[in-house]
């Protein structure tokens, strides 16, 4: 059995990054931006019935070598490996998603990064709502970047809540605490999120890729382009047209025919 070794050069090439790499705040922000805006959020391996393998080598092969995307456990799993490879003091955290108003289990992975005694939350895997830059672990201090304003607040029940400002209203995204997370915790969350019938990623096709001042998203057949607060929607046709749209809008190239995808649920 061969031991996986993170290839820093291949990772940097994948995210189109040629800047500095010492474990500084400047590097953290630059790597975060580069990966977030390059590697798409997507769940098509689940929709192809392949499941999600979180072995380090499997994540690297899929997201870097095969130039695919992934969801939080893959995207933040890759980012965690990268930060460790570049010498950062970093560890994973798990969060509960609150978008619908009903909290989920701990099914979202993020990172806690410590630089010169100060802690930062880094997340490159929350779909359209992914924080655009690392967030200092400070309460009630709104931060704006690339058209998005977020803040962290204390929550009596849930620990720390990440909120986003939409139309002058603060909306809950996800909560987390700073407790130790082991690999088994991550595997538990990944198994439910990628296999349970009630999980969004099991019953729907989703993709997202931030762009400057906006984001491209996909939900089943609906592609949405949001730029500077303006939305444009279009319905994608089935078949090769659908696969072509995945490649052109998100850089996702499936090595499988359209017919291998799970059928969309009937309305």
Q: How far apart are CA 212 and CA 242, in angstroms?
A: 24
Residues involved in catalysis: 72, 108, 123
Q: Determine contact, residues 60/81, Cβ cutoff 8 Å.
A: yes
What residues form DSSP beta bridges with 106?
96
Q: How far apart are CA 74 and CA 66, in angstroms?
A: 13
Q: CA-based angle 196:77:178, to the nearest 5?
A: 85
DSSP 265: P
Strand-pair category, 143-145 with 148-155? antiparallel
């Amino acid at each position: 059995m061969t031991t996986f070794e993170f290839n820093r050069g291949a990772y940097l090439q994948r995210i189109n990054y040629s800047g500095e790499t010492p474990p500084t705040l400047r590097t953290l922000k630059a790597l975060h931006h580069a990966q977030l805006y390059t590697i798409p959020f997507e769940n098509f391996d689940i929709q192809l019935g392949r499941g999600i393998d979180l072995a380090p080598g499997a994540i690297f092969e899929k997201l870097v070598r095969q130039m695919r995307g992934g969801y939080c456990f893959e995207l933040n799993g890759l980012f965690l490996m990268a930060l460790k490879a570049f010498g950062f003091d970093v560890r994973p955290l798990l969060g509960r998603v609150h978008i619908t108003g009903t909290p989920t289990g701990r099914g979202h992975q993020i990172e806690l990064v410590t630089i010169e005694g100060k802690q930062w939350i880094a997340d490159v895997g929350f779909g359209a709502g992914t924080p655009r830059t690392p967030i200092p672990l400070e309460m009630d201090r709104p931060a704006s970047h690339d058209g998005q304003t977020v803040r962290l607040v204390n929550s009596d029940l849930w620990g720390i809540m990440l909120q986003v400002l939409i139309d002058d209203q603060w909306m809950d995204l996800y909560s987390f605490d700073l407790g130790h997370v082991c690999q088994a915790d991550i595997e538990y969350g990944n198994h439910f999120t990628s296999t349970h019938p009630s999980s969004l990623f099991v019953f729907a096709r989703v993709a997202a890729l931030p762009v400057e001042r906006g984001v491209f998203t996909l939900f089943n057949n609906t592609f949405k382009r949001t730029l500077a607060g303006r939305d444009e929607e279009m319905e994608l046709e089935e078949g090769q047209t659908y696969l072509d749209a995945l490649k052109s809008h998100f850089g996702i190239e499936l090595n499988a025919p359209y017919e291998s995808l799970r059928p969309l649920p009937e309305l």
